[in-house]
Amino acid sequence: MDFGVLKDKLARVLKALDHAYLNDLLYFAKAEPSSENIAKFIYERLRLELKGKPTRIKSVTAWESETACATYLGSKR
């Protein structure tokens, strides 16, 4: 996949999180905004953005510091 297209799609997903109070987002009403759930949010939204494209997301990692992160592996679909 063209990295420019991927970069644009990812930017659309991340825009919802940028400078946002995550507890106010509908997605996090039932799931705390932990690194695990942020990685899952990005995975799910990016997967929708890429629907119909010849690519597949394997995982998304959300870092909360230089030494702490969580990775969402997604489903086998």
Supply the pLDDT for residue 3: 92
- 72, pLDDT greater than 90: yes
Residue type, 21: Y
Beta strands in the chain (DSSP E): 60-63, 69-72
pLDDT band at 74 (very low <50, low <70, confident <90, very high): confident
- Taken in order of first residue, the domains within the chain and their CATH numbers are 3-72 (3.30.479.10)
- 30, pLDDT greater than 70: yes
Sorted by sequence, the CB contacts under 8 Å of residue 35 that are 6+ apart come out as: 62, 63, 64, 68, 69, 70
Distance between CA atoms of residues 77 and 72, nearest Å: 14
